[in-house]
Structure 1
Amino acid sequence: MDHAHIPINAKQKQAGFALMTIVAIVAIIALAVFAKWAMSDAQRRLGKNTAITKVLSKVDLALVSYVAQHRRLPCPADGRIASGTANVGLELASCPLQAHGVLPWVTLGLSEDESRDPWGARLTYRVDPALTGLAPRLMDMSNCDVSGTGSVAGGGACRTPTPTCVANPATCTPPATFLAGKGLDVWDGVGGAGGWATRINNRVLGTGAAYVVISHGETGAGAYNAAGVLQPGTIGPIALVPPPGTQRAGNDEMPNLADQPLTLPAAQATTYRVAALNTSISLSHFDDYLSHPSISEVLKKASLQQRVH
């Protein structure tokens, strides 16, 4: 057929079809690239989630081992001290406030790498100061007894029982009495005041966390880095949408920030948060990871739990 005699409309249709074919091919390629990127991003996130779970598990084991040996928990280290300088990673002599506190990796026998999360930030660490004391050493419930009806001894310790606790229950401290008023509060941030009243770890009711270890997630907002510098992530009362490439700490992340002092007893606004993951660029953002076992959980793993008949 002589192409010179193809009608104009036919030529336009051929050109249009060719253009549509090219657009379709480009769209398919774009979708394939996007799908591959989305899969790679999901795999990267899954890998990081797996890594932080392993990091926190190793930290928990180190803290249990420390409790088994010393019958106390360590104070935090000062997160403002740069790597390679004096006292870095060592627990403070006392810890009433704990602002700037990070995991005391040297005290726990961990390497510095083991005390950082997969994004390179130091792990924030908080603990009830009463559980770090030398006299009495309160991370020990071995003198408490399920048959007891007595009060706690001086400083909140289990009473030294008069054998047997079954025959002399008033000389023995029951676990619930020992645990009440100890530890830290942790909440999932759901339900307002009513939800807070039924929080995960409740110091008043005896289910307080022995300690709280916090990874500040992919954004690193509110964590100290190896140079001893607080990573802002654009923290603070600023515009809702932060500068490109940054994310301020979300509302539920604010109580977890490494430069915040310890508040005991905690109020709703100062209770440590373990909220649902939210990666949106908003005030609802939350990418922290927490370990917050109860005192009784830690003591059971350290073989310092109460007597059971």
Structure 2
Amino acid sequence: MHTFSGIWIPLVTPFDTQGAIDFKALRGLVRLYAPVVQGLVVCGSTGEAQAMNPSERLAVLDAVLEAVAASGYGTPVAMGVGGSHVPSMLEDIGALRTRPLAGVLVPPPSYARPAQAGILQFYRDVVACCAQPVVVYTIPYRTGVAIESETFAALADIPGIVAVKDCGGSSTLTTDLIQQTSLRILAGEDAQLFGSLCLGGAGGIVAAAHFVPERFVALWRAIEAGRLAEAREGFRALLPLIRLLFSEPNPAPIKGLLAQQGLCGANLRAPHVAASSQLVSRLLEVLAELDPRTAFI
């Protein structure tokens, strides 16, 4: 079982100018990141999963798994499964049983806003049909419901639930999760990465790590080794990039900057629109300050 620690990248899904999945670009991104980071997440919100149908999502996953296997690095891969129709979500999770996944990342059903007892039962049902470890994804601004500390305490007692992607928006909740449960806590808000790691978080699922990923990994390693001053300076240097990447809706700025690097197109599926040219220009400047080569190790 993978430990769910370190820096994981929630991969964008490249599309061509006709809106079809660009598998060549997708494989190229995997080749770029697999040697550097501790894991990859497929079909999360950064991957525009909501804009793809189930067969497309499986095709993206299989392409990533094949590219990881070809890379020889054995980088762990987790798959996101979300939605509002619980039977469909459980069916999608069941379809993953034969895939060699590190885990399945699952938020509460969106829009329904169930009671805490309903959330707890939902995750029991998820575990029952899932062959892989489950990562709970708390992100109230997307699902419309917050998972409370007491519910997390109960979730931590369910075998098969191993980690949390924490976009809960509460420093108190983050502290409770780290100090009062055995779950591995992965920061899901890039700007909260440093604070979560300092509190004892295991790592982060970090969209900004599409760029200079080695610097995000170095930040994590520095905190793990107790080199706090080094980590603090590293995070301060990364903050301008993080803030700009989320100044317009994700993943448009990420794709806009990746397109400037020739790594994939800037194309998105509706309802997303391209990032503004002014933002992309500013991102290029900030990235050049971080890495004059604007390249990766």
Higher strand share: 2
TM, length-normalised to structure 1: 0.23
Kindly name which structure, 1 or 2, has the bigger radius of gyration based on alpha carbons. 1
Higher helix share: 2
TM, length-normalised to structure 2: 0.24
